[in-house]
Chain A
Amino acid sequence: MNSYYDVIVIGGGHAGIEAASAAARIGCSTCLITMTISAIGRLSCNPAIGGMAKGQIVREIDALGGEMGRLADLSGIHFKMLGKSKGPAMWSPRSQNDKDLYPHFAQQRLQEISNLTLIEGVVGDVGVKNGAVSSVQLQDGQRIECRSLVVCSGTFLSSRLHVGEQSSVGGRMGEPSAESLSEILRHYGVSTGRLKTGTPPRIHKDSIDWKLCTPDVGDAHPVPFSRQTAAVTNQIQCYLTTTTKDTHQILESGFDRSPMFTGRITGVGPRYCPSIEDKVYRFSDKDEHQIFLEPEGLATDSVYVNGFSTSLPEEIQEAALRTIPSLEKAQILRYGYAVEYDYFPSYQLQHSLESKVVKGLFFAGQVNGTSGYEEAAAQGLLAGMNAARAIQGKSSVVLDRSQAYIGVLIDDLVSLTISEPYRMFTSRAEYRLLLRQDNADIRLAHIGYEAGLVDRKIAQEVQSLTESIEAAQDLLKKHRVKEQDSSGQAVSLWQLLKRPECLAQTILPYVPTDSPLAELLTDERLVEQIEISARYDGYIQRQLQEVERFKGIEESQLPATINYNAIVGLSSEGREKLIRISPRSLGQASRISGVSRSDITILSMYVR
């Protein structure tokens, strides 16, 4: 075994997989150290990838040359495009995945990457020399040197599991906690906080009375996440049911024994995917809450009870579940539990995800205070890329808010002071109409290619698609036809296409067969893109103008050396946040909560 690697990644979760793969494929000798190799890629919570906003992120990961899209396609057993009742900017792909196949394919994939070594072990110590990371030490004493270190340790740092009044040490049910890592990093000046998250019970599929639930079928024509996957198929069905008043009554009877209510869990839980006891307590006027029953795989009897995240005592979980139609005889395979863990508040990071205090130290995934596989993977990809680029002396890849959800994610992480796990929502993106799942490759493939993660062939395909789209739009705008109605006015094909309900098919009869347009319009991707652009035309233009408008303030750099204490007139809260977060641009400063408008005015005078 080597005693040196360019890049070491700690943790084989979704962040670690991407980070290790990216660093190795960019050309750095890379090693992924994780507690259990066979646990790499485990889906700790719901065996599902994508969903609203997250599906867009998976598409972006794929466009940049990451792994998640392909792994989700390989292990997917139920595919559905969410948000179809709204416009294309809201469409979000989601898959239900086999909980055993996902890790299987993830491990297989990592093993085939040539520059990458997988090591089983627990990192207990980190070495720092002259302010830069230099090595890690495993609990068995082995020391490995490195130049960049990416910490992707998820929910495993000093973590505690809670079920009712019982708590135990562990990072996931049945897996240990890493007790010393956060202490070591605190020693180097990295501060930590505490967060928590929960997961619902799993039940045996034969104990469910399926007749009583509503089926939730996948798409008739399921679409894969990755542009490299030819096709995917639906292999299972999911089901829907709801809680009842009786369920709520039983849950309430256990409030005084819930670790969250009794204050035993000090970490703050997410408002976004609240536990069932939270929902019952906070929304006492609601008589029912939706429950999705999602099979965890093809070869398993386990069914995930989506919407019923809980850490109440076991007997209460069981009694409450059994008041839900179809679950009257439910047999619990694993009780719901909550995990509480150390995280590293992400304002301590630069946009490259490198620590501001220790050089070469990168953080990605749930350790940064996020929640969700996709959010973790996205950070892992960027952190791995930048860890490798730092060694190669290249500038870091930073996506901006108008380029990608990933750009929004990372900019938010380094600017916001979070008080609960951060997850992505489409509403976090100012330029949502531009950041769609259907154009992720058009937006990002060139960046992945330049970074060395996307094949030349794909990059060229995307490039020529982009050019064809532009050419087709030009031709559509130029080509005029007479209106069918009495007015007989000449309108461009583009104007026709902009009309509600008008599809490319409708205008095809007007396109002369010898026009290059006829040829262009045979490409399905191109047709999809121009239909969407036509639909959002005007609004997209306005969003682009807004992007331009804010460029000035976004590009107005704030030097890292700026002494906020010497600036007269800053509000005290603003000053404190500015010192802590040290924003890199005026735009970022303006998004920090607590930095007031007048603080921004003062700063803008300083940088002028």
Chain B
Amino acid sequence: MKDFLRDTIVALSTAPGEAAIAVIRFSGVNSVRIAASLIQLRSKKELSSVSPRTLVNCTVIDNGLVLDEGMVVRFAASASYTGEDLVELHIHGNPIIVDRVLELSIEQGARVATAGEFTRRAVVNGKMNLLQAEAVGALISAESRQSVFLAHHQLHGELSKQLYNFREQLLSLLARLELELDFVEEGYAFASEKEIEKVLTSIRLYVEELIRTFPTAERLSRGPRILLLGRPNAGKSSLFNSILGYSRSLVSITPGTTRDYLEERFVHNGVTIRLIDTAGLRNANDEIEREGIYRALEMVPVCDQILYLIDSTQTSTIPEEMQFVHGLRLQHPSISITSVLTKSDLASSLDDQHLSISIKDVSTVKNLLEILSKGYGTKQSTAALAVLNIRQLNLLKHIHDLVSEIQAQSAIPTEVLSALLREILIPISELVGETTSEDVLNKVFDSFCIGK
């Protein structure tokens, strides 16, 4: 592991597969040398003499033959993503060419980067803190416009800023508590109970809000899951296909053709929605189908919304079905469950009370989609910030527990209070950076008079 930071790493930075272009990235002390050995610049200059951040034409050479034509740009360590010398080679997006370039790079001494290694190096080299690195990850995998915004906020250090701010406030309190303790004979009281309470409450409220919005933020970042339920033949698969716009699952009039479940993603109004088609609900005899039904019910707790489809042509069963929906709602109060009457084109009369659709009438499906997407991402959420992952969530919960513990007690001795406040700094530091007790001291003496 000793040479961990000394290797030069290489990787394809664009998505694999056929594409117009592919970008191959090199980072490390030898990145310019290795990249230069693969290419010839059209200008005949050396890559090392091209000024940084300038894109220039080049040909990729494989054993004297031209493998590809492309462009290349280098970044100096002082101003690169990773904090190391970095080169990007832009070539045609053909897996054969890409693989060959990687092969040649390895021959020249590069190592294929591990997952996230470029960003990890950026953290190690102090180009960004851990929260920001996590934001980069979140940004790349964001499944909604809003979670893109949230990730950007964190990338720009919004959460870090707030945490640094809390840390400042805690350090300032600690500094004053310490002063009180170290000069106890002088009888100073520099931090009032009220002030301590104020700081703790502001931290608690802030953290509480982040913890509270986590499920929403999490759903946003992975996109909501909508589950289609209903009896066989209710029209689930038909709706599924109609929404996705192409035939994905089998549609048939024999009840029970959708034997397992199918999940597809589609983007609507900037939100990635996962739509899940399931087998119909009834007492199936077929082994495989029973399994499918079982699976469908298993999906219920992990989805965000259920569309329960009811065949409007089966008028006699409608009350019974409504009853079933009611039961589901009681069982899963946190999931929004909507009943939808299908095949409205065939129904003789339909009351306006219920949402009804027909796959024969595109406008009814569109209308349903509008209603669905209202809950997700169409309007900006009030929270400008969000927790991006479980690590952050757990540390924030830890902060919350510590603050609540202090606030729940009365008359804590000063020396214990100080130890507890210091404890809050640990998860904050883990989220963003470090603290030592010299920090506290520096604070103390920067601003106060001390008798001997």
Contact = CB atoms under 8 A, between A and B. Distances in A.
A207 interface: no
A571 B125 CA distance: 8
B18 interface: no
B187 to A, nearest CB: 8
B438 A433 contact: no
B419 A427 contact: no
A87 interface: yes
Interface in B427-450: 433-434, 436-438, 440-441, 444-445, 449-450
A433 B6 contact: no
B130 to A, nearest CB: 9
A597 B128 CA distance: 11
B185 A82 contact: yes
Given A83-B184, A427-B181, A569-B5, A602 B124 contact: yes
B423 interface: yes
A425 interface: yes
A597 B129 CA distance: 9
Nearest to A599: B126
Given A52-B185, A86-B184, A272-B445, A605 B1 contact: yes
Interface of A: 52-53, 82-83, 85-87, 89-90, 271-274, 279, 282-283, 286, 289-290, 306-307, 309, 412, 416, 425-430, 432-433, 500, 536, 539, 542-543, 546, 567-569, 571, 590-591, 593, 596-598, 600-602, 605-606, 608
A597 B433 contact: yes
A596 B126 CA distance: 9
B449 A433 contact: no
Given A271-B445, A289-B451, A598 B124 contact: yes
Contacts of B124: 569, 598, 601-602, 605
B426 to A, nearest CB: 8
Contacts of A427: 178, 181-182, 418, 437, 440-441, 444
A85 B184 contact: yes
Contact of B5 (A283, A306, A596, A602): A602
A425 B174 CA distance: 14
B414 interface: yes
Given A272-B445, A591-B436, A598 B415 contact: no
B181 A571 contact: no
Given A86-B413, A598-B124, A425 B438 contact: no
Interface of B: 1-2, 4-6, 29, 83-84, 123-126, 178, 181-186, 411, 413-416, 418-420, 422-423, 433-434, 436-438, 440-441, 444-445, 449-452
B438 A52 contact: no
A283 B450 CA distance: 10
A272 B182 CA distance: 11
Contacts of A306: 452
Nearest to A538: B416
Contacts of A596: 126
Contacts of A282: 449
A571 B182 contact: no
Contacts of A590: 434, 436
B413 to A, nearest CB: 4
Given A272-B445, A605-B124, A52 B451 contact: no
A274 B448 CA distance: 11
The 9 lowest CB-CB distance pairs between A and B, nearest first, are: A598-B126, A427-B178, A273-B452, A283-B449, A87-B413, A597-B434, A425-B182, A271-B445, A83-B184
Contacts of B437: 427-430
6 contacts: A87-B413, A272-B445, A272-B450, A542-B423, A568-B84, A596-B126
A412 B416 CA distance: 23
Given A272-B450, A289-B451, A425 B178 contact: yes
A568 B6 contact: yes
B266 to A, nearest CB: 41
Nearest to A542: B423
A290 B415 contact: no
A279 B449 CA distance: 7
B171 to A, nearest CB: 12
Contact of B438 (A309, A571, A591): A591
Contact of A90 (B126, B181, B186, B438): B181
B181 A86 contact: yes
Given A53-B182, A425-B182, A605-B4, A433 B441 contact: no
Specify which of B178, B434, B449 lies most central, judged by the most chain A CB atoms within 10 Å of its CB.
B449
A536 B182 contact: no
A433 B415 contact: yes
B413 A571 contact: no
Contacts of B422: 430
A596 B123 CA distance: 12
Contacts of A87: 413-416
Nearest to B444: A427
Specify which of B4, B420, B440, B450 lies most central, judged by the most chain A CB atoms within 10 Å of its CB.
B450
Contacts of B449: 274, 279, 282-283, 286
Given A86-B414, A432-B419, A605-B1, A426 B185 contact: no
A543 B444 contact: no
A591 B2 CA distance: 23
A164 B126 CA distance: 50
Contacts of B178: 425-427
